[in-house]
C-alpha cells in the first residue's frame, strides 16, 4: 500500500499544485462520479466503505448522506473546517498541503446529495488557508472542474469559503450553520438534524475536512480497497494529532486500531527527557483523562476500543501528559478554555463552566479545601446530561475523570492544612 | 450608497454573490472583515452601513461583533499579537513565552505598546499545538501564523514591524 | 383537524393534538412544568433547561414494528437515561412523562442553583419581587442555600436605559432570550440583541432611539426576572400592593383588553392612582400583547389639567358655575334650539355616552354628527366580520386585504395579527401608495397614486367580473396591471376574505368611496356573513364603530353645519384644536371635555367629564366586538360621566333617559339596535377558557399578562345576517384636484401623534415627533429645500409652518402630512411649498 490516503503530499511533492494533483489521478473520481455514477451509487460506495465522520462523533458518512431529504430542495454541503479543539491540527495540514483532494471530496459529496453549492466554513484564524483555497477554487473553475454543466452533464457546482471569526462552538454543526447564516454561533435544537433542516433551512450535509478528503480515493478505488485499512467497524486510516509532552509532535496518519503505545513511542518518539507518561487525553480538551497504564497503552485506537479505557477517540487529538504535570493545573486550563468558548445559550454550560473556573482556579492556586474539590465534582456532575450541546457535556470529562483517576494530585493541591487534618493521629486513650 | 458601499462596491458584490439572494444576512461576517480592514476595529458607522446593506438592524450586526472574538469594537495596536496558551501549547512553554514577551515589551497581557504598534493578547487554541509556542498576528488586513517561536524570534519580528512602520 | 395523541403525565392521561409540546399538554391538565425560556407564544428553544423531565416511550420491536408488551400485557415503556426538555419535546402516543420524580427535582434544583450563581438576589429592592418566576420557582424547587461564594459574583450595571421606556438590570438577566426572541420573531423588530457570549452575554440595543420598537413594553411582561422594567413603573410600587381593574385600551379601534393596576398613594394626597397598564388576555383580540401607546399613553386620565367644575361664560369670561346652573342653562338653550341643535361627538366616547347623546339630540329634532376623518362605518355595520372572527384562525386558505392603511402605525396589534396570519400562510394583499412595514409579509404588494384607493379596489372588482364598461380611466388603467389582477384572483379564490381599510391619504369623501369599493369586492367574492369574512374599518378612535352603529354619521360640510347650528354640543372632540378655521362660535356652544381644549375655550358652557378609567362603559371595536370596561379609580370630584350629563340634560327637558347606571343605558341600547339585541353587561362579562393559560399562579409560563376573568366581549352580527341584504353599491369616484406643479398634500396617521390624549404622557415625549411634513428627496432637490428646514405650506387654507423631512418612502409629487400635528390637511389637497427662515420654537 501507499502509506497515505490523506497526507499524500508527504510522498508526492507539490501535490498542492493542481497540475501535480491531476497527474496523480486527481479529479478522476469526481469525473467518474458525475459522468458515470448515479448520486445514489456514490452514496452506496461511501456507505460500503464504512467511512465514519472524522470530526469526533464517528457517524457513518454514507448514512448521513442518505438521510438528506429528497423532497426539499436545494441541498447544501458544508465542509467543517473550523478545527478548534485544543490538540487538533490535522485539517489544517490537509488544506495547506493536499487541498485539491479535500476540494474533490467536497465536490463528490455535493454531487452525491445533488447540492449545487458547497461552503467551506473555516475558523477565522485560517485566514491564509481560506485565501489559498479561494485561489485553488478559482483554478478549478478555470479548468472546468467546477462551474456549470460539468463535463457536459447538467450538474453544476460552486464552492465558496466562509470564514468564522473566533468561536470554538462553531465547530458544532448546527452552531456552524447558524454562524454561516450570519447569526450568533449558538447550537440549534436537534432534531431536526441538518440532513432534513440545515443551512438556510434546507437539507444539508456537514462533514469534517478529513472525512471529505477520504472520499476521492474511496470512489476511485472502491469500498473494499478502503476496508483493507483499519478495523472491521472503524475502517480506513485516521490522522492522529500528537501534542503535549512528546518528542515528535505532529500529525500521523495511521490505520484505525493502531495502539496508543505504537503512536506515542514508535511514531512520536516517546516522552521528552526520559520522563514517565502519566495520562493521555485522546480527544483534545474535550477528552477524559486516561491513566497511562500498560493496558491503556496497548489499547487499539478505534471508535470501539477507546471507551474500554474510559474515554472516546473523538477527533483523535492526543495530548500527552507526563509526570511533571499537575492534573488540577490541567483541568484549570481546559475549564478556562470551555468557559471562554461557552456560547451562553444553555444554563448549565454558561453558568457551570463559569463556576467550575472559579473552583479550578482556587484549587490550582492552592487556596482550596477538599470541600471545593467535592463541590467541583458536584457542579460537573450537575451539568452532566443537561446541556444543549456537546460543548458543555465534554467540558466536564477532564474534570470528572481527573478527580476520579488522579485523586492524589487534588489531595496534594488542597493544601497541607487539609491533609494534616485528615492525618491527625487518633489521640491515645 | 453608504461609505462602505462606495469604498468597496465590487468586493461587496462579490461577497453577496456567494449567498442566496434572500439570505443576504449570511454576508455579515465577511462584510465585518471588510469593515475592519481600514481601522482594525468595527466602528459604529460600519455597523450601520452593514446593517443597511444587508437589511438588518444595527443591533443584529453588533451582536455578531460581540459574539466573535476576531472582531473588535475598540481600537487596539496596529498589530495584534495573539499567543495561544491553551493546554497543548502550555505544555510546550507557551505561558512562559507570553510572560517573557510581555516583560520585554514592557506591557501586560492585553495591553498595547506605547507607540500603538502592538497589542499582545492571550487567545484560545490556534490549531498549531505541535508547533508551540506560536502566535498569530492580526491586522485589519488579515491574519498570519508564526510558529515554533522563541522570545527572541518574536522580539525580532516585532522589531521588523517597528522598522516597517517607521 | 390534527390527529389526537394520548399520553400520561404524572399518572394523568391527557389527549391533545399531535405536535403539542409536553409542557403545553401538561398545562392543560393542571400540571405545571417550570420554564424560563419557553413561552407558549414563541417557538421553543430549550435554552434554560428548567423544564427537564423524565420521558418514556413505548418500546417497538424492530423486527415486527409492534409494541413490546410486558408480561401483564401492558406496553413496555423505555425511559431515556437523560432528562429531556418538556418544552422542546412533542407528545407521542403512549408517551409517559414523569415530572415529579427525585431525579427531576434534582435536575430543577441544579438548574436553579446554576442560575442563582449569577443572579444578584436583590429581591427586596426588585420591581419583579412578588411576581417573579425566578423567585417563585426558587421557593418551589431551588436549593436552600448557595454553594457559590457570594464574593465570586460579578457585579454589573443595574440601571441601563435601553431607551426612555425600558430599563435593563444586567445582573438580573438570566439570558433566557425571551425579549430578544419576542422582538425578532413575534414583532419583527430586532432592535435588542445579545452582545458577547457565554457568561458575558448581555442585552444591548443599537437602535436610535434605544429599543426603538412600539411593542417594547411586552418584553417586561415576559421577562422572567426583574431584568427588564418599564420607566413608567420601576420603583413605583410593589405588585402585591396593587389592585387590578379590567379595562379596554382607548387608544385605537383594536380594543386591546388591559388591566389597570392601581393603589392609593400618599404623594397623591391619598388618592387612588394608576400605577401601570398590563395586557389582559383575549385571544380573539390582542392575545396577551399590547403596544406601547396603550401601555404608556394613559396618563392623560390623571392629568392635573383636567377640568374639575362646570364653566359658564359670563361677561365674555368662562367662569366656574354649579352643575345645576350649567345644566339648567344648557337645557334651556337646547330647548330653544330644537331642531337647530347639532351634537358633534367622537368615537372616544363609550356606547352608553353616544346612545344618550343620540337620544337627547334626536328627541329634540336635532342632528348628531360624528367627528371623524373617515367614513364607511355604516357599511361595516352591514357587512363587518361575522361573530367568531379571529385573526388567529386565519392562515392558509384565508386572504387579507389591507388597503390605504399603515397598520403598524394605525392599529399596531392588528398589524401584528395580520402579519402572523400571513406567516401561517394567509394570502396578504397590501394596497397602499407608499411602502409600509406590512409589505415584507405580503404575497401581493400593490401601489396606487394617492387619491386612487377606491379606484384600485374597484379595478380589483372589475378584473373579477367585468360588468361595468363605463369605468373611469383611473380604474381601467389600474385594472390593466397583471399584479392587481393576480391579487384580485387570489382574494376571490380564498375560502375566507377580510378587508381592512384605513385612512392613509383619504378625505371623508374618498374614504366613503373606498369603503363602498371594499364592500363591492367582498360581495363580489362572497366574503360576507361568515366568520373570518367581512369588512373592518381601521378607525381613528376606540369606539368609532359603536358611534356608527348607534347612528352617528360624519357631515360632509361640517364647518357649514356648525356655523348654522342654533346650539352646538361638542362632546369628546376638539375641532378647533385640529383646524382653527373650523369652529366659528355660533349662537351657543357647549363643550363636554376632560380638558380646556381650544374648542372649549370658545364655549359658552364647558362641562367636565370623568375619564373612562373612572366609570363603567363599553366600546365596540373595529372587529365589532362589544367589550366592557370597569372603573379603575374613583372619579375626579366635580366631574360626571358623559352619559350622565346627557341623561340629566334630557331629564331637565322631560325626556325619559337613564342617567345613573351605564348598565341600564346599555340595556336600552340593546333594545333599540337589533344587532345589539340580547346583550347586557352580564353577557359581555362572560369568559371561557383560553389557551395558553396565563396569569395564574405560574407567571413563569405566560408572563405577567392578566388572565381574563371579566369578559371576552361579544362580537356583533353584521346586519346582513339579520335580514338586511346588501346589494352592490353604486359609487361615484370623487374627483381629486391635482396640483398644477405643486405637491399633493395627503394626511396620514402616526401612532405617536400629538393628540390631546397622548401629550400628557410625558414619558412618551421623546418618541412624539415635532410637527413635520415629509417629501421625497427628489422633490426636496427640486424645491431646493434641505432636510430639517422650516417650510411654509400654502393652500386654500391658511399657511402652516412646519419642519420638512426628506423621506425616500414618500412617493414623488406628494407631501405627507401626519395628522394631529397642526397642519389642517383633511384629504388630498394641492399645496405649494416654500422654505422660510423662521425657526419653529
Q: Do A347 and C111 touch (CB under 8 A)?
A: yes
The predicted-structure confidence for C161-183, as pLDDT tens digits, reads as follows 999 999 999 999 999 999 999 99
Any chain B CB within 8 A of the CB of C205?
Answer: yes
Whether A426 shows a pLDDT value over 60: the answer reads no
Cell of C506: 383619504
DSSP characters over A98-166: SHHHHHHHHHHHHHHTT-SEEEEEE-GGGHHHHHHHHHHHHHHHHTTSSBSSGGGSS--BEEEEEE--S
Q: Do B66 and C197 touch (CB under 8 A)?
A: yes
DSSP characters over A35-63: HH--HHHHHHHHHHHT-B-TTTT--BHHH
Q: Which of C80, C199, C202 to mutate to test the interface with A (most CBs of A within 10 A)?
A: C199
Of B27, B88, B127, the CB nearest to A83: B127
Give the pLDDT of residue C824.
87
Whose cell is 448557595? That residue is C146
Q: What is the distance in angstroms between the Cα of A250 and the nearest Cα belonging to chain B? A: 5
Question: Of C39, C514, C9, C198, which is closest to residue A343 (Cα–Cα)?
Answer: C198
Give the pLDDT of residue A420.
47
The model's confidence at residue C468, banded by pLDDT at 50, 70 and 90, is low
Q: Do A355 and C114 touch (CB under 8 A)?
A: yes
Distance CA B53, CA C736 (A): 39
Give the pLDDT of residue C697.
80
Q: Within its chain, how far is the Cα of A419 from the centroid? A: 40
Distance CA A256, CA C488 (A): 66
Q: Do B63 and C191 touch (CB under 8 A)?
A: no
Give the pLDDT of residue A1.
40
Q: Which residues contact B55 (CB under 8 A, 6 or more apart)?
A: B24
The model's confidence at residue C480, banded by pLDDT at 50, 70 and 90, is confident
Q: Within its chain, how far is the Cα of C353 from the centroid? A: 22
Q: For residue B115, give the DSSP letter.
A: T
Q: Give whole-number Cα distances, A62 to A27, A114, A333, in Å.
A: 20, 14, 37
Of C195, C197, C207, the CB nearest to B57: C207
The model's confidence at residue C797, banded by pLDDT at 50, 70 and 90, is low
Whether A421 shows a pLDDT value over 70: the answer reads no
Q: Do C48 and A339 touch (CB under 8 A)?
A: no
Give the pLDDT of residue A422.
54
Whether C663 shows a pLDDT value over 90: the answer reads yes
Predicted TM-score (pTM) of this structure: 0.96
Q: Do B129 and A131 touch (CB under 8 A)?
A: no
**pLDDT cut 70: percent of chain C above it:** 98
Of B56, B69, B129, the CB nearest to A86: B129
Whether C154 shows a pLDDT value over 80: the answer reads yes
Give the pLDDT of residue C749.
96
Whether B10 shows a pLDDT value over 50: the answer reads yes
Give the pLDDT of residue C774.
96
The predicted-structure confidence for A248-269, as pLDDT tens digits, reads as follows 999 999 999 999 999 999 999 9
Q: Cα torsion for B64, B67, B72, B77, to the nearest 10°?
A: -150
CB C210 within 8 A of CB C163: yes
CB A205 within 8 A of CB A199: no
What is the three-state SS of B133-144? CCEEEEECCEEE
Neighbours of chain B (3+ CB pairs under 8 A): A, C
Of B71, B123, B127, the CB nearest to A89: B127
Q: Do C114 and A351 touch (CB under 8 A)?
A: yes
In the Cβ-directed half-sphere of C364, how many Cα atoms lie within 13 Å?
33
Chain B residues whose beta carbon lies within 8 Å of the beta carbon of residue C193: 57, 59-60, 62-63
The model's confidence at residue A423, banded by pLDDT at 50, 70 and 90, is low
Q: Cα torsion for C594, C596, C601, C604, to the nearest 10°?
A: 40
Question: Of A28, A30, A12, which is closest to residue A20 (Cα–Cα)?
Answer: A12
Any chain A CB within 8 A of the CB of C278?
Answer: no
Chain A residues whose beta carbon lies within 8 Å of the beta carbon of residue C196: 344
> Where does C621-675 show beta strands of DSSP type E?
625-629
Q: Which of C200, C206, C212, C808 to mutate to test the interface with B (most CBs of B within 10 A)?
A: C206
Q: In degrees rounded to 5, what are phi and psi of residue C13?
A: -85, 145
Give the pLDDT of residue C696.
84
Strand pairing partners for C7?
C14
The predicted-structure confidence for A137-196, as pLDDT tens digits, reads as follows 999 999 999 999 999 999 999 999 999 999 999 999 999 999 999 999 999 999 999 999
Q: Do C197 and A347 touch (CB under 8 A)?
A: no
Q: Do A181 and B136 touch (CB under 8 A)?
A: no
In the Cβ-directed half-sphere of C81, how many Cα atoms lie within 13 Å?
2
Whether C40 shows a pLDDT value over 70: the answer reads yes
Q: Do C110 and A342 touch (CB under 8 A)?
A: no
The model's confidence at residue C839, banded by pLDDT at 50, 70 and 90, is low
The predicted-structure confidence for B114-148, as pLDDT tens digits, reads as follows 999 999 999 999 999 999 999 999 999 899 999 99
The whole-number average pLDDT for the span C602-625 is 98
Sheet architecture: strand order including C271-279? C243-248, C257-265, C271-279
Question: Of C664, C665, B91, which is closest to residue A245 (Cα–Cα)?
Answer: B91
Whether A428 shows a pLDDT value over 50: the answer reads no
Strand pairing partners for C320?
C311
Secondary structure (3-state) at C609: strand
CB B91 within 8 A of CB A321: yes
DSSP characters over C508-527: HHHHHHHHHHHHHHHHHTT-
Q: What is the distance in angstroms between the Cα of C139 and the nearest Cα belonging to chain A? A: 19
Whether C674 shows a pLDDT value over 70: the answer reads yes
**Cα torsion angle, A408, A413, A419, A422, sign:** negative
Q: Which residues contact C770 (CB under 8 A, 6 or more apart)?
A: C803, C840
Whether C733 shows a pLDDT value over 50: the answer reads yes
**For residue C134, what is the enclosing H or E element?**
helix C133-141
The whole-number average pLDDT for the span C779-784 is 94
Give the pLDDT of residue B43.
96
Q: For residue C184, give the DSSP letter.
A: I
The predicted-structure confidence for C435-452, as pLDDT tens digits, reads as follows 999 999 999 999 999 999
Any chain B CB within 8 A of the CB of C209?
Answer: no
Average pLDDT of chain A to the nearest whole number:
95
CB A368 within 8 A of CB A359: yes
Cell of C305: 389639567
Q: How many residues does chain A have?
A: 429
Give the pLDDT of residue C667.
98
CB atoms within 10 A of CB A382: 21
Q: How many CB pairs under 8 A join B and C?
A: 40
The predicted-structure confidence for B29-59, as pLDDT tens digits, reads as follows 999 999 999 889 999 999 999 999 999 999 9
Residue B128 vs residue A57, higher pLDDT: B128
Q: Do C190 and B66 touch (CB under 8 A)?
A: no
Chain B residues whose beta carbon lies within 8 Å of the beta carbon of residue A92: 127-128
CB C211 within 8 A of CB C183: no
The predicted-structure confidence for C74-130, as pLDDT tens digits, reads as follows 889 999 999 999 999 999 999 999 999 999 999 999 999 999 999 999 999 999 999
Amino acid at each position: 500500500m501507499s502509506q497515505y490516503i490523506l497526507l499524500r503530499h508527504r510522498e508526492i511533492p507539490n501535490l498542492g499544485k493542481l497540475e501535480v494533483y491531476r497527474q496523480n489521478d486527481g479529479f478522476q473520481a469526481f469525473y467518474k462520479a458525475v459522468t458515470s455514477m448515479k448520486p445514489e451509487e456514490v452514496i452506496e460506495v461511501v456507505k460500503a466503505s464504512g467511512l465514519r465522520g472524522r470530526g469526533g462523533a464517528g457517524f457513518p458518512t454514507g448514512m448521513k448522506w442518505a438521510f438528506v431529504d429528497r423532497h426539499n430542495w436545494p441541498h447544501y454541503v458544508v465542509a467543517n473546517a473550523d478545527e478548534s479543539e485544543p490538540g487538533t491540527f490535522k485539517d489544517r495540514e490537509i488544506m495547506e498541503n493536499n487541498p485539491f483532494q479535500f476540494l474533490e471530496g467536497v465536490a463528490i459529496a455535493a454531487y452525491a446529495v445533488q447540492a449545487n453549492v458547497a461552503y467551506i466554513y473555516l475558523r477565522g484564524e485560517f485566514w491564509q488557508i481560506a485565501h489559498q483555497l479561494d485561489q485553488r477554487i478559482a483554478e478549478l473553475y478555470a479548468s472546468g472542474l467546477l462551474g456549470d454543466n460539468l463535463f457536459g452533464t447538467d450538474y453544476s457546482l460552486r464552492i465558496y469559503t466562509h470564514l468564522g471569526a473566533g468561536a470554538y462552538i462553531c465547530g458544532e454543526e448546527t452552531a456552524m450553520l447558524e454562524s454561516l447564516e450570519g447569526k450568533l454561533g449558538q447550537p440549534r435544537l436537534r432534531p431536526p438534524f441538518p440532513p432534513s433542516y440545515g443551512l438556510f433551512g434546507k437539507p444539508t450535509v456537514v462533514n469534517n475536512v478529513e472525512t471529505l478528503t477520504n472520499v476521492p480515493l474511496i470512489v476511485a478505488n472502491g469500498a473494499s480497497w478502503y476496508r483493507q485499512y483499519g478495523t472491521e467497524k472503524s475502517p480506513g486510516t485516521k490522522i492522529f494529532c500528537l501534542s503535549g509532552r512528546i518528542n515528535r509532535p505532529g500529525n500521523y496518519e495511521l490505520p484505525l486500531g493502531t495502539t496508543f503505545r505504537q503512536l506515542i513511542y514508535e511514531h512520536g518518539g516517546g516522552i521528552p527527557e526520559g520522563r514517565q507518561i502519566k495520562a493521555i487525553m485522546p480527544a483534545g480538551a474535550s477528552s477524559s483523562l486516561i491513566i497511562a497504564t500498560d493496558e491503556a497503552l496497548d489499547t487499539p485506537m478505534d471508535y470501539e476500543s477507546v471507551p474500554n479505557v474510559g474515554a472516546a477517540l473523538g477527533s483523535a487529538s492526543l495530548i500527552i501528559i507526563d509526570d511533571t504535570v499537575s492534573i488540577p493545573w490541567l483541568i484549570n486550563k481546559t475549564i478556562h478554555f470551555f468557559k471562554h468558548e461557552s456560547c451562553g445559550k444553555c444554563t448549565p454550560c454558561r453558568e457551570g463552566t463559569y463556576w467550575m473556573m472559579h473552583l479550578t482556579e482556587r484549587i490550582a492556586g492552592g487556596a482550596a479545601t477538599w470541600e471545593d474539590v467535592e463541590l467541583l465534582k458536584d457542579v460537573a456532575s450537575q451539568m452532566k446530561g443537561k446541556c444543549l450541546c456537546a460543548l458543555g457535556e465534554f467540558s466536564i470529562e477532564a474534570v470528572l475523570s481527573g478527580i476520579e483517576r488522579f485523586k492524589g494530585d487534588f489531595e496534594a493541591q488542597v493544601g497541607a492544612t487539609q491533609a494534616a487534618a485528615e492525618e491527625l493521629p487518633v489521640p491515645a486513650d | 450608497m453608504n461609505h462602505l458601499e462606495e469604498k468597496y462596491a465590487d468586493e461587496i458584490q462579490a461577497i453577496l454573490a456567494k449567498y442566496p439572494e434572500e439570505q443576504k444576512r449570511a454576508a455579515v461576517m465577511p462584510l465585518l472583515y471588510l469593515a475592519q480592514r481600514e481601522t482594525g476595529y468595527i466602528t459604529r458607522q460600519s455597523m450601520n452601513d452593514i446593517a443597511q446593506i444587508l437589511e438588518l438592524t444595527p443591533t443584529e450586526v453588533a451582536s455578531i461583533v460581540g459574539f466573535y472574538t476576531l472582531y473588535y469594537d475598540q481600537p487596539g495596536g496596529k498589530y495584534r499579537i495573539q499567543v495561544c496558551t491553551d493546554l497543548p501549547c502550555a505544555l510546550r512553554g507557551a505561558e512562559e513565552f507570553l510572560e517573557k514577551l510581555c516583560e520585554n515589551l514592557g506591557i501586560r497581557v492585553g495591553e498595547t505598546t506605547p507607540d500603538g504598534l502592538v497589542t499582545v493578547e492571550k487567545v484560545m487554541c490556534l490549531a498549531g499545538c505541535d508547533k508551540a509556542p506560536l502566535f498569530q498576528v492580526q491586522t485589519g488586513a488579515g491574519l498570519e501564523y508564526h510558529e515554533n517561536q522563541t522570545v527572541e524570534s518574536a522580539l525580532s519580528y516585532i522589531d521588523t514591524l517597528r522598522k516597517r512602520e517607521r | 383537524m390534527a390527529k389526537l395523541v394520548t399520553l400520561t403525565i404524572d399518572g394523568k392521561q391527557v389527549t391533545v393534538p399531535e405536535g403539542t409540546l409536553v409542557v403545553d399538554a401538561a398545562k392543560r391538565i393542571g400540571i405545571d412544568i417550570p420554564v424560563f425560556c419557553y413561552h407558549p407564544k414563541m417557538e421553543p428553544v430549550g435554552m434554560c433547561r428548567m423544564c427537564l423531565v423524565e420521558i418514556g416511550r413505548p418500546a417497538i420491536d424492530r423486527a415486527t414494528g409492534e409494541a413490546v408488551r410486558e408480561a401483564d400485557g401492558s406496553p413496555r415503556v423505555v425511559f431515556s437515561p437523560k432528562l429531556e426538555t418538556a418544552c422542546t419535546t412533542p407528545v407521542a402516543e403512549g408517551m409517559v412523562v414523569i415530572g415529579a420524580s427525585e431525579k427531576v427535582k434534582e435536575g430543577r434544583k441544579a438548574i436553579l442553583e446554576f442560575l442563582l450563581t449569577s443572579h444578584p438576589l436583590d429581591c427586596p429592592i426588585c420591581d419583579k419581587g412578588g411576581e417573579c418566576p425566578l423567585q417563585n420557582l426558587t421557593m418551589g424547587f431551588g436549593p436552600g442555600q448557595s454553594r457559590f461564594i457570594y464574593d465570586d459574583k460579578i457585579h454589573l450595571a443595574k440601571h441601563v436605559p435601553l431607551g426612555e421606556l425600558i430599563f435593563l438590570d444586567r445582573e438580573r438577566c438570566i439570558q433566557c432570550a425571551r425579549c430578544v426572541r419576542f422582538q425578532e420573531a413575534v414583532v419583527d423588530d430586532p432592535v435588542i440583541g445579545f452582545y458577547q457570549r457565554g457568561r458575558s452575554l448581555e442585552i444591548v440595543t443599537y437602535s436610535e432611539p434605544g429599543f426603538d420598537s412600539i411593542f417594547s413594553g411586552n418584553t417586561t411582561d415576559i421577562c422572567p426576572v426583574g431584568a427588564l422594567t418599564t420607566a413608567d413603573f420601576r420603583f413605583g410600587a410593589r405588585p402585591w400592593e396593587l389592585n387590578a381593574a379590567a379595562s379596554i385600551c382607548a387608544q385605537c379601534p383594536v380594543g386591546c383588553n388591559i388591566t389597570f393596576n392601581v393603589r392609593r398613594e400618599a404623594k397623591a394626597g391619598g388618592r387612588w392612582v394608576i400605577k401601570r397598564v398590563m395586557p389582559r388576555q383575549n385571544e380573539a383580540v390582542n392575545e396577551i400583547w399590547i403596544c406601547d401607546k396603550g401601555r404608556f399613553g394613559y396618563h392623560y386620565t390623571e392629568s392635573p389639567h383636567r377640568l374639575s367644575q362646570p364653566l359658564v361664560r359670563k361677561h365674555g369670561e368662562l367662569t366656574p358655575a354649579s352643575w345645576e346652573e350649567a345644566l339648567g342653562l344648557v337645557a334651556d338653550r337646547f330647548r330653544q334650539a330644537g331642531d337647530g341643535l347639532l351634537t358633534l361627538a367622537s368615537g372616544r366616547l363609550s356606547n352608553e355616552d353616544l346612545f344618550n347623546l343620540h337620544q337627547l339630540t334626536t328627541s329634540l329634532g336635532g342632528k348628531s354628527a360624528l367627528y371623524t376623518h373617515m367614513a364607511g362605518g355604516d357599511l361595516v355595520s352591514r357587512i363587518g366580520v361575522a361573530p367568531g372572527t379571529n385573526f388567529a384562525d386565519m392562515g392558509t386558505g384565508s386572504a387579507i386585504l389591507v388597503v390605504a392603511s399603515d397598520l403598524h402605525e394605525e392599529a399596531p396589534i392588528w398589524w401584528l395579527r395580520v402579519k402572523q396570519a400571513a406567516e401561517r400562510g394567509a394570502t396578504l394583499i397590501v394596497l397602499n401608495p407608499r411602502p409600509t412595514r406590512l409589505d415584507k409579509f405580503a404575497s401581493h404588494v400593490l401601489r396606487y397614486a394617492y387619491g386612487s384607493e377606491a379606484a384600485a379596489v374597484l379595478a380589483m372588482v372589475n378584473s373579477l367580473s367585468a360588468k361595468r364598461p363605463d369605468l373611469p380611466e383611473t380604474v381601467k388603467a389600474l385594472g390593466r396591471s397583471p399584479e392587481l389582477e393576480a391579487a384580485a384572483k387570489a382574494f376571490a379564490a380564498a375560502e375566507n376574505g377580510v378587508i381592512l381599510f384605513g385612512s392613509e391619504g383619504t378625505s371623508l369623501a374618498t374614504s366613503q368611496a373606498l369603503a363602498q369599493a371594499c364592500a363591492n369586492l367582498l360581495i363580489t367574492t362572497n366574503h360576507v356573513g361568515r366568520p373570518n369574512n367581512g369588512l373592518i374599518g381601521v378607525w381613528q378612535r376606540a369606539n368609532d364603530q359603536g358611534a356608527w352603529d348607534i347612528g352617528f354619521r360624519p357631515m360632509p360640510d361640517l364647518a357649514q353645519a356648525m356655523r348654522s347650528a342654533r346650539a352646538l354640543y361638542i362632546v369628546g372632540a376638539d375641532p378647533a384644536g385640529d383646524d382653527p378655521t373650523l369652529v366659528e362660535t355660533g349662537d351657543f356652544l357647549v363643550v363636554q371635555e376632560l380638558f380646556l381644549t381650544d374648542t372649549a375655550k370658545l364655549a359658552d358652557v364647558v362641562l367636565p367629564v370623568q375619564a373612562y378609567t373612572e366609570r363603567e362603559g363599553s366600546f365596540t371595536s373595529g372587529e365589532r366586538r362589544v367589550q366592557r370596561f370597569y372603573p379603575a379609580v374613583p372619579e375626579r370630584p366635580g366631574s360626571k360621566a358623559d352619559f350622565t350629563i346627557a341623561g340629566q340634560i334630557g331629564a331637565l327637558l322631560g325626556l325619559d333617559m337613564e342617567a345613573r347606571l351605564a348598565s341600564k343605558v346599555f340595556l336600552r341600547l340593546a333594545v333599540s339596535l337589533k344587532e345589539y339585541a340580547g346583550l347586557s353587561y352580564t353577557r359581555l362579562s362572560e369568559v371561557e377558557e383560553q389557551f395558553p393559560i396565563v396569569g395564574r399562579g405560574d407567571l413563569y409560563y405566560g408572563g405577567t399578562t392578566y388572565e381574563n376573568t371579566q369578559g371576552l366581549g361579544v362580537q356583533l352580527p353584521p346586519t346582513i345576517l339579520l335580514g338586511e341584504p346588501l346589494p352592490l353599491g353604486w359609487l361615484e369616484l370623487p374627483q381629486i384636484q391635482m396640483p398644477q406643479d405643486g405637491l399633493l398634500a395627503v394626511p396620514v396617521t402616526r401612532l405617536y401623534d400629538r393628540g390631546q390624549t397622548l401629550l400628557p404622557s410625558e414619558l412618551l415625549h421623546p418618541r412624539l415627533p415635532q410637527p413635520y411634513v415629509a417629501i421625497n428627496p427628489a422633490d426636496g432637490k427640486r424645491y431646493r429645500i434641505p432636510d430639517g428646514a422650516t417650510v411654509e405650506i400654502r393652500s386654500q387654507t391658511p399657511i402652516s409652518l412646519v419642519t420638512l423631512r426628506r423621506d425616500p418612502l414618500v412617493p414623488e409629487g406628494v407631501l405627507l402630512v401626519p395628522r394631529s400635528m397642526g397642519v389642517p390637511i383633511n384629504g388630498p389637497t394641492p399645496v405649494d411649498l416654500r422654505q422660510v427662515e423662521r425657526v419653529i420654537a
